A and B are shown apart, each in its own frame.
Chain A
Amino acid sequence: MKFDTPATTNPIDRLQVVGQPVDRIDGRYKTTGTAHYAYERQDAAPDAAYGHVVGAAIAKGRIAAMDLTAAKAAPGVLAIVTAETAGKLGKGEYNTATLLGGPEIEHYHQAVALVVAESFEQARDAAALVKIEYAPAKGAYDLAVARDLAKPSGKDDEPADSRVGDFDGAFAAAAVQLDAIYTTPDQAHAMMEPHATTAAWKGDALSLWTSNQMVAWSVGDVAKTLGMPKDKVHLMSPYVGGGFGGKLWVRADAVLAALGARAARRPVKVALQRPLMFNNTTHRPATIQRIRLGATKDGRLTAIGHDSWSGDLPGGKPETAIMQTRLLYAGANRLTRQRLAELDLPEGNSMRAPGEAPGMMALEVAMDEMAGKLGLDPVEFRLRNDTQVDPEHPGRKFSQRQLTECLRMGAERFGWARRKARPGEVRDGRWLIGLGMAAAYRGAPVVKSAARVRLDAKGIVTVETDMTDIGTGSYTIIAQTAAEMMGVPLHRVMVRLADSKFPVSAGSGGQFGANSATAGVYAACVKLRDAVTGKLGLNAAAAEFADGKVRSGDRSIALVEAARDGELAAEDTIEFGGLDKKYQISTFGGYFVEVGVDAATAEVRIRRMLAVCAAGRILNPKSARSQVIGAMTMGAGAALMEELAVDTRHGFFVNHDLAAYEVPVHADIPHQEVIFLDETDPLSSPMKAKGVGELGICGVAAAIANAIHNATGVRVRDYPITLDKLLKEMPAPA
């Protein structure tokens, strides 16, 4: 099905099942331990041996010598895989550094060996006996230093630079100016389930049970890395214990499990050890951002400038922190520039809302600062600079843009009017109280997505697609879509996901999964409906599928009748034909936050948070809410504590475990509320939906930063906002 004209009324609009806050259909399996994750596939590979990964002890250089004698002789050891023994390996399309290093070392904790043994403990013990001599080389580890050598760098179709009008002239002439530098640190996905894979060979065919967001990409990269045909790789990822962009691709666990299984001649499972997660895998790269805003005295932006610097390994990609600035606010003169420096730190890559998450952390603080300079309420300042068209290409409209509605509703619901414009005015015992807000913005891309739908003789509708559910609720919204389309109750739908033998879906990433994958299921269901009406001899155009029946005119026939002579199946792909080029399709929101800051110690504690989101049709308000509150929690981490601490001497992230890389705990998140505007976007897909999983993190950290400023009068532009940075400027408590 080609989607190239706006959606009209379709069966989804009935909203009998879609749009209902139903419980996750996979919830019971997860809460009863019957959802088997990649490392727990004893059912599929009962005799699996255990692999333990050895990570490089240096950030850059070479392995001078490797002595495996002691490790090989250790009890239970079955095989040891190194670059030397693995044979020729290719490099996948999606990883920058190789997944099995040696003799060249490209980053700290790059995998250099896998030790396979009968038991996990034996593998771990033997791994410590692998003796490696390194010849270290000098590397570049400090973005602030490497920044001077950074080069313009775009990403995908987006150019590095954009210019509209005369930014320099307009900024110089602006009545009110803001020019500030903001920095965001490297961050880790820190998902609960580590990267993990069970691998088994049958002849030259490989089965991988792994934890992965993008099944088809990963089949391709496994094949490319191992030098084998794609049709010999069977990859399954039915349950994923958190990904956040860290599992968009194949990582060392999958490649090494496959190589280990080949070497040991039996199935092997590998879970990346937690201390390796932070330097072995990918992370969100740090940014240095300069924002310049010029405005008239009445608060109209005349000049918007945003420069961003980030670093990555040679051949890597930039963190696209300027992207939202091209689209969020009106302003005639604009300049954005993106620069990429070469660093020898571990590989930077996508993490929940790459680009916008750190970009909004800077832009929305700059907007707050500018509102302060103008003496304008921060909500009002944003309302004055709204645009309904792409400000760089004014002929291009937003498909839907209810930013101002989100901000107005949020202000009302939160009690924003009670905010004191002057910082440091409100006190509750030893706590300084502040309110802050920020706009939320994230693009809503769509990606081609296919599904197969079957109707069997019992009337069960089965959906098969390689779509993943990374905790987001894909199983449930796909079941809701199929139930709505086929007119059956939810419990008559079975959903099978994330198997490379199923039709290729959008996968989970970039906030495109929910809308694209359900649209693919919609397309397949349209075909299956045609097959059903054909079989039943009904007029397809007039047929209505409801209550387990198909009605057309005076006739009403049980759906199951169509499969009486055998199962009916249909497969289709939704392909998006350019509406997303003609229109800018995005999601919007507003964040409102109240914080308390201890007047003595400058400890920041969030008191309450509100999100108001405009993101098209909400397919399941319950799972969508979970997405937004989870993302807000991640935003709280970004604002207050998350930072991979770079040792610029040795070139690695020092705090590489969950004790030292702090993410919010329950006590940090006392109260969250989420409101979804009642919106449909016929330009986005037949589902009229978008996505919320990334919108939820885009702006929330800035809202917290702005609340801290309102509480204390201290403006910190260097994330995370830890108490030491605040303390420097906080007066002695009264």
Chain B
Amino acid sequence: MKPFTYERAASPAEAAEAAARRPDSKFIAGGTNLLDLMKLQIEAPAHLIDVNALALDRIEATSDGGLRVGALVRNTDLAADQRVRRDYAVLSRALLAGASGQLRNRATTAGNLLQRTRCPYFSDTNMACNKRRPGSGCSAIDGINRQHAVVGASAACIATHPSDMAVAMRVLDASVQTVNPKGVTRTIPIAELHRLPGDTPNVETVLEAGELITAVTLPKPTGGSQHYRKVRDRASYAFALVSVAAIVQPDGSGRVALGGVAPKPWRLDAADAEMPKGAKAVAGTLFAEARPTEHNAFKLPLAERALASVLAEARG
């Protein structure tokens, strides 16, 4: 960990302003991922702007029947919120499938979206990694990559996004509210928040320097039966090999997003359209462009089987 300076911001505007003043800074909220990475010098900000005092910790109804989730709402509180449990069960289930009770108590909504990959080569500073050291190469593509992406990746990076929550947010069509250092706010559909790696896997989101997430908005509830199936090597406290977030309507239509298979939550409109036809058709569309490795090719049949199981459960 490199020495850093620290300040505590009192308002979103103040935080954004501080970020503009210090381009070498990072926002810190729960710190459950950032601090680990700083200890390994994978992240080495010279300045931390603590946003925990920003009063962004409320969950409020929106005028169009949705929910506005403050950026600082802790994962535990979001999962336990009665409105979330009733109307957005897929989100509650995804949250509870992630991390551990202790981490969820600390981790925030915005921080969860912005967490970094758990690729082991990303975590080992002796190894080449285009995400950590642009241009150095990717150690995972020809290395140990059983956990890695099968779709949406590039020749520069095959890391996955590790979040469970984000997969549920994606299937719910959430949107992200931000404020930039100039005080300008904008709304980013969750589908557009995370970028695919292409040639610049180090650039993971469309957020600009100093841009701060203030809230995540969930649109009006869609109804339907909501599912989150996380498939992993042990019963708890493990990242997904594959996860399925699905909302299934009584007429068989619905939506599905996958976790653990891509650099971002993986959802395609064309695949949603195939929902009435069943898992094979949906998976076929989701994975039309898949380029699995020898070690992670199992994720394709696994995702299809997990989705089939979810659809069977939805049918009752």
Give A residues with C-beta under 8 Å from B.
57-58, 75, 121, 124-125, 128, 275, 430, 598-603, 605, 640-641, 645-647, 649-650, 654-657, 659-660, 662, 664-668, 722-724, 727-728, 732-733
Contacts and interface: CB of A to CB of B under 8 A. Distances in A.
A727 B301 contact: yes
B29 to A, nearest CB: 20
A168 B259 CA distance: 53
A732 B233 contact: no
Interface stretch (B106-114, B123-131, B153-161, B188-196): B123-131
A133 to B, nearest CB: 13
Contacts of A660: 118, 120, 123
B298 A125 contact: no
Contacts of A722: 233
30 contacts: A75-B3, A121-B3, A125-B3, A601-B229, A601-B231, A601-B302, A601-B309, A602-B302, A605-B235, A640-B234, A641-B233, A645-B146, A647-B144, A650-B127, A650-B143, A654-B143, A654-B144, A655-B144, A656-B124, A659-B118, A662-B234, A662-B238, A665-B234, A667-B237, A668-B236, A722-B233, A723-B241, A724-B241, A727-B301, A727-B302
Contacts of B238: 662
A640 B144 contact: no
A640 B142 CA distance: 25
Given A654-B120, A656-B124, A733 B305 contact: yes
A380 to B, nearest CB: 33
B124 A645 contact: no
Q: DSSP class of A's interface residues: helix, strand, loop or mixed? A: loop
A728 B302 CA distance: 10
A600 B305 contact: yes
Contacts of A121: 1, 3
Contact of B234 (A599, A601, A655, A664): A664
A667 B235 contact: yes
Given A125-B2, A641-B234, A727-B301, A656 B308 contact: no
B315 interface: no
Contact of A640 (B3, B229, B233, B308): B233
Contacts of B233: 640-641, 662, 722-723
A668 B144 contact: no
Interface in B203-242: 229, 231-239, 241-242
Given A600-B309, A601-B302, A667-B236, A57 B126 contact: yes
A656 B169 CA distance: 31
B120 A655 contact: yes
Contacts of A656: 120, 124
B273 interface: no
Given A600-B305, A647-B144, A654-B143, A275 B235 contact: no
Nearest to A109: B126
A199 B121 CA distance: 34
A600 B308 contact: yes
Contacts of B121: 654
Contact of A124 (B1, B124, B302): B1
Contacts of B305: 600-601, 727, 732-733
A138 B72 CA distance: 50
A345 B300 CA distance: 32
Interface in B278-316: 298, 301-302, 305-306, 308-309, 312-313
Interface string B134-168: 00000100111010000000000000000000000
A723 B235 contact: no
A601 B144 contact: no
B39 interface: yes
